[in-house]
Structure 1
Amino acid sequence: MPTIKSSYLGNLRTTSSHIQSGKTIISDAPVDNNGKGEAFSPTDLVASALGSCMVTIMGIVAERNNVSLDGLDWEVTKIMDSNPRKIGEIVIDFHWEDPVSDPAMIQKLKNAARTCPVALSLDPSVKQTINFNF
């Protein structure tokens, strides 16, 4: 059974619906690739997925260990390569206002992030620069 149903809307824009939840997203080609840049580009979604996946896996580990991730946020920078046009690097900067004080737990969370399914699915040529600012 499909997970997502998508349609082309014209003008380099797509819509995708998550079948189970009914939630919808729109993607738009970026301005530097003939689009309007009015929504996430497909490569933006890949970069965003990496950060979200990392935090989801960190959240699973945190819940198992009764640790709160409250105050954790992150910024994603996507760097494109050309010839061929593709994602060259994804930089994720994590910030945590009040991190857990246990160094072993911090390391466990970092390890969990680096082994999330999206991180493991990206081609090795896509550099993943992950900065844990905590």
Structure 2
Amino acid sequence: MPTIKSTYLENLRTTSEHLQSGTKIITDAPVDNNGKGEAFSPTDLVASALASCMVTIMGIVAQRKGEDLKGLNWEVTKVMDSNPRKIKEIIIDFSWEQPLEDHKLVQQLKNAAKTCPVALSLSQDVVQTVNFNF
């Protein structure tokens, strides 16, 4: 059974629906690649997916220990390469003003992030720079 159903709209724009939830997203080509840049580009979604996957896996580890990741924030920077055009590097900067006091658990969270399914699925050519500012 399909997970996602997508349609090309026009002018380098697509829409995708997550079939189980009905949630929809739109992608748009970036301005530097003939698009309008009015929505996430497909490569933006890849970069965002990496960070979201890391946090999801960290959240699972935290929940198992009876902890919460409340207040964890992150910023994602996507660096593109050319010829061929592809993602060269994804930089994720995690910030947490009040991290857990259990230093062993914090290290487990960091390890979990780096081995999330998206991180393991990306090509070795995509540099994953992850900064844990906590």
When normalised by structure 2's length, the TM-score is: 0.99
Any stretches of 5+ residues in structure 2 without a counterpart?
A: none
Q: 3-state DSSP class of the match of 2:70?
A: coil
1:88 and 2:88 equivalent? Answer: yes
TM-superposition CA deviations, 1:26-65 (whole Å, max 9, x none): 0000000000000000000000000000000000000000
Structure 1: any 5+ residue segments left out of the alignment? Answer: none
Shift of 1:21: 0.2
- Per-residue CA deviation, residues 60-80 of structure 1 (Å, 9 max, x unaligned), is 000000111010010000000
Runs of 4+ with >3 A deviation? none
TM-superposed deviation, 1:13: 0.2
RMSD: 0.4
Number of the residue aligned with 1:115: 115
State the SS of the aligned residue for 1:16.
Answer: strand
Alignment of 1:72-83 (within 5 A): 72-83=72-83
SS in 2 for 1:27: strand
Q: TM-score, normalised by structure 1?
A: 0.99
Letter in 2 for 1:76: V
1:1-134 equivalences in 2 (<5 Å):
1-134=1-134
Counterpart amino acid of residue 5 in structure 1: K
Q: Could you tell me how far apart the structure 2 residues matched to 1:15 and 1:65 are? A: 38
SS in 1 for 2:78: strand
Q: Please give the alpha-carbon distance, in whole angstroms, between the structure 1 residues aligned to 2:64 and 2:43.
A: 32
Q: Deviation per CA, 1:71-122, whole angstroms, max 9, x where unpaired?
A: 0010000000001000000000000111001111110000000000000000
Q: Tell me how far apart the structure 2 counterparts of residues 24 and 102 of structure 1 sit (CA, whole Å).
A: 38
